[in-house]
Structure 1
Amino acid sequence: MARVLLTGATGFVGGRIATRLAMLDHAIVAPVRRHDDHLAELGVELHLGGFEAVTPALLADIEVVVHAAATAGPDLATAAAVNVEGTRRLRDAAVEAGTPRFVHVSTTSVYADPSDDVRVVDEDAPLVTDDDEDAGPYARTKAGADRLLLTTQEGPALAILRPPAVLGAGPTSTWGTRVPTAIAEGRGFPAPRGRSFAFVHVEDLVDAIEAAAALDDPWTPSPAGPAPGAPLVANVVGGHVTVADYLDAVVDLLPGPVPERPGTDEPAWTGRYATDRLPRKLGLAPHRSFRAGMAEIASAWTSPTPNQEERR
């Protein structure tokens, strides 16, 4: 049994991680912004205050940090405060406390928008820059968090996992609740229907996080950043369909007609994200299908719970 500090435990992905770790009898410490009855029932040790509760003392006996907290709101300052400065505070506390391992849940959104001739985006592809105004606050600040961790000269052994759209049911799920709600309410989804839509089922992502957390030395950072092929920075991708496939599946699960056809007919990137590093380094690969993810969403679809920003 390990003692794990988990951020983002009240969110979609973080909540699934908490459930898995509790099932495995790990002791979970979670800095949270508000009390959560479900986490308390799982036996999670809750510390109110969010990142303000993160101190070296809190991490004194922690064996692994799993950092799943993030915000994807439209305000750049808020996104930077959570995604970059929150990560910095957590990293600094882990360094001072001597925490052995650190698993960071990133996103494929950190990659700079590929040109049409790029067929495969691997883990060494360029990241979104801080001043890239064509990228949203989420992508810019999550890329900033990755750079912050990858250039740390000391501290825990580091694993960075980069999932794309995470499928599964949950009130704060972007792709399971928030986007379907927007489409049902006529707010649309202005993405090219022909664009590649990479996905992973949330339980496959949790499998990868669990495996990365168990590694003794996934990768020790260096000032030079990641060397090609160095463990562990890995995409966690279950497969690729198109945006049209996803949007049409959403329309099918909604109880009534939608006000307008979601998506656009603009030209779009049709490449893929590399998927070979994860099985090579962790010995596992996502296996749950797009259909399985959408079936779970359809079976449990409800309106989102307000005021829950920690999500993926």
Structure 2
Amino acid sequence: MNLSLKDKVVLVTGANGFVGHHVARRLCQEGMRVRALVRRPESRAELDPLGAEVVLGELTDRGALEQAVRGAHFVVHCAATNTPDLAEARRVNAEATATLAEAALAAGCERFVHISTVAAYPLMNASGVVTEAAPLTTEGDAYAVTKADAERVLSAVAARGLRTVVLRPAVVLGVHPTSFWGTRFPQAIAAGQFPLVDGGEPTMGYLHISSLVEAVVRSLGVDEAVGQAFNLLDGHFRWREYTAFFSTGPLPAAAAEQVPGFLSFRGTFSTEKAQRVLGLAPKDTFASSMAEITSAPWQA
């Protein structure tokens, strides 16, 4: 680590969600002064015990964002929406990211860490090794398109002086009521509502939430990370291996053109850059992550 994080003020957006909550907790443990931006007052019950300062505000409210970044040394932008509504997804994922980045630049923030996704790459029927130099997608489902757009608008603000780090995690595994891969999709699979391409043979990357949180900490502290994007994953699985933990019968078949691109991906994601710059060694945690998820109380 090149930079001391203790006593630094960090704004964490989406701090009441799966990723944001784990990030806020770890940054509090690092001795940082965490300012948690959330939408609902009831989020205090989850965040106050961590020692975080809870700030209420909508991600789409420019005034709220400008106030939230005032005096912050860092921003970790975790908030996003997975709505299929393209206009709403663009408003939250892309336009609000631009507004937050502009506010961070104006406030003199030292570093802006943006949680993106490997879904921002064009993955439908793609194969081979995907590195961070690959182009970002311009078509597909609303989440993928608008997360790619968010990176583009962030890059434009970075060109004017904002020091950014972009993290592109694969499927994030872990326990939290709002976790897509630990709660929401398992419920859809159990209900027989999760489509598979070619019987679930396509591949996808995964990482445990602890690996993503570690990447955030290192992105804040390692000088060489500034201006870079990083693929983050611990390993790869086939979709049939993931769905087998939750399915109670056959799952519907789908063509690649009918579902988000990540469900037909047949390649791998390079982690060389994250290992070299951030010192993040992949962990073989698929089995233990799935055991953690399947034993969560809301899966019973």
Q: Tell me which interval the TM-score lies in, with the shorter structure as reference length.
A: 0.7 to 0.9
Go from structure 1 to structure 2 and tell me whether the alpha carbon gap of 1:249 and 1:55 turns closer, same or farther (over 3 Å shift).
closer
The CA distance in 1 between the partners of 2:114 and 2:244, in whole Å, is: 32
Structure 1 residue identity aligned to 2:134: A
Does 2:235 align with 1:242? no
Q: Secondary structure at the match of 1:162?
A: strand
For residue 146 of structure 1, what is the aligned residue in structure 2? Answer: 151
For residue 254 of structure 1, what is the aligned residue in structure 2? Answer: none
Give the TM-score normalised by structure 2.
0.88
Root-mean-square deviation over aligned CA pairs: 2.0
2:120 and 2:147 in contact (8 A); partners too: yes
Query: Structure 2 residue aligned with 1:123, among 116, 132, 138?
Result: 132
Query: Structure 2 residue aligned with 1:262, among 251, 254, 266?
Result: 251
Higher relative contact order (CA 8 A, sep 6+): 1
For residue 229 of structure 2, what is the aligned residue in structure 1? Answer: 233
- 1:171-190 counterparts in 2 under 5 A? 171-190=177-196
Does 2:294 align with 1:298? yes
For residue 63 of structure 1, what is the aligned residue in structure 2? Answer: 73
Gaps of 5+ in 2: 1-5, 257-263
**CA displacement at 1:209 relative to structure 2:** 0.7
1:106 and 1:160 in contact (8 A); partners too: yes
**CA displacement at 1:277 relative to structure 2:** 0.5
**CA displacement at 1:157 relative to structure 2:** 1.3
**CA displacement at 1:170 relative to structure 2:** 1.1
For residue 207 of structure 1, what is the aligned residue in structure 2? Answer: 214
1:68 and 1:104 in contact (8 A); partners too: yes
2:203 and 2:237 in contact (8 A); partners too: yes
**CA displacement at 1:183 relative to structure 2:** 1.8
Relative to its length, the structure with more helix (as a share) is: 2
1:165 and 1:199 in contact (8 A); partners too: yes
Q: Secondary structure at the match of 1:50?
A: coil
Query: Structure 2 residue aligned with 1:25, among 31, 55, 72?
Result: 31
Structure 1 residue identity aligned to 2:153: L
Gaps of 5+ in 1: 221-231, 252-257, 305-312
Query: Structure 1 residue aligned with 2:142, among 137, 146, 151?
Result: 137
**CA displacement at 1:288 relative to structure 2:** 4.4
Report how many residues are paired: 281
Structure 1 residue identity aligned to 2:30: L
> Which is further off, 22-31 or 85-94?
22-31
**CA displacement at 1:156 relative to structure 2:** 2.5
For residue 259 of structure 2, what is the aligned residue in structure 1? Answer: none
Of all paired residues, the percent bearing the same amino acid is: 38
- 1:92-107 counterparts in 2 under 5 A? 92-107=102-117
